Amino acid sequence: MADLPARNLICRCYVVDEATVRKAIAEHRLRQVEEVTAVTRAGGGCSSCWDEIQAILSEVWGKPLPRDVPDESGLSSAQKRARIVKVLDQEVLPLFDLNGLQMQLVDVTGDRVLVRFTGNGVGTTAASFLALKRYAVQKMTEACGLKMNLVELNVLEALAP
């Protein structure tokens, strides 16, 4: 039997190696463990490999600020998340509900807001869906005083093998 090449296995649940994780980070400019999980499935089982995935991300992008340390905007990720939750609850989600959409806030780090959409029009370029996403970004940006970027985990998950 021929020897198989050695692989540095990161995720044993989904059998994802380091090369796959690094390639996904580079190709899709992933910056958070949740994004890596969405694209590669690594970390989606028992989550014991999250520290290894975070170490690779830190090596590539630099160590992230702790959640309670303000960035250049003067707000920490935790403060931004609180503001975003408030504006979503008060102004954005009622409109989504009227249109048969749901938006789950997964994480906020720096200027990146990770969300998952479900409901009518998700995954399409329907003008109503795009307008609602644009409105959500506008409201999150106003709440944080910094241009926020929406990262749709649905889109990343569609890339997974």
Q: Which residue has the tokens 């970004």?
A: 137
In a domain, 137, yes or no: yes
Exposure of 160 by Cβ count < 10 A (0-12 exposed, 13-18 middle, 19+ buried)?
Answer: middle
**% of the chain at pLDDT higher than 90:** 68
Which of 79 and 124 is assigned the larger pLDDT?
A: 79
Q: For position 146, what pLDDT does the model report?
A: 92
Domain hosting residue 83, numbered range: 77-158
* Tokens, residue 70: 């303000």
Residues 48 and 118 in one domain: no
In a domain, 153, yes or no: yes
Instruction: Count up the domains in the chain and report the number.
Output: 2
Q: What is the pLDDT of residues 25-68, one digit of tens each?
A: 999 999 999 999 999 999 988 889 999 999 999 999 998 767 78
Residues 140 and 101 in one domain: yes
Entry pTM: 0.76
Residues 149 and 123 in one domain: yes
Residues 49 and 104 in one domain: no
Residues 154 and 101 in one domain: yes
Q: What is the pLDDT of residues 93-108, one digit of tens each?
A: 999 999 999 999 999 9
Q: What is the mean pLDDT of the chain?
A: 89
Q: For position 5, what pLDDT does the model report?
A: 53
Q: List, in sequence order, every residue forming a beta bridge with 112; answer none if it has no partner.
A: 109, 149
Which residues have a Cβ under 8 Å from the Cβ of 86 and sit 6 or more positions away?
143
In a domain, 3, yes or no: no
The DSSP annotation for 103-151 comes to EEEEEEETTEEEEEEEETTTTS--HHHHHHHHHHHHHHHHHHTS--EEE
In a domain, 46, yes or no: yes
Q: For position 6, what pLDDT does the model report?
A: 55
Q: For position 1, what pLDDT does the model report?
A: 44
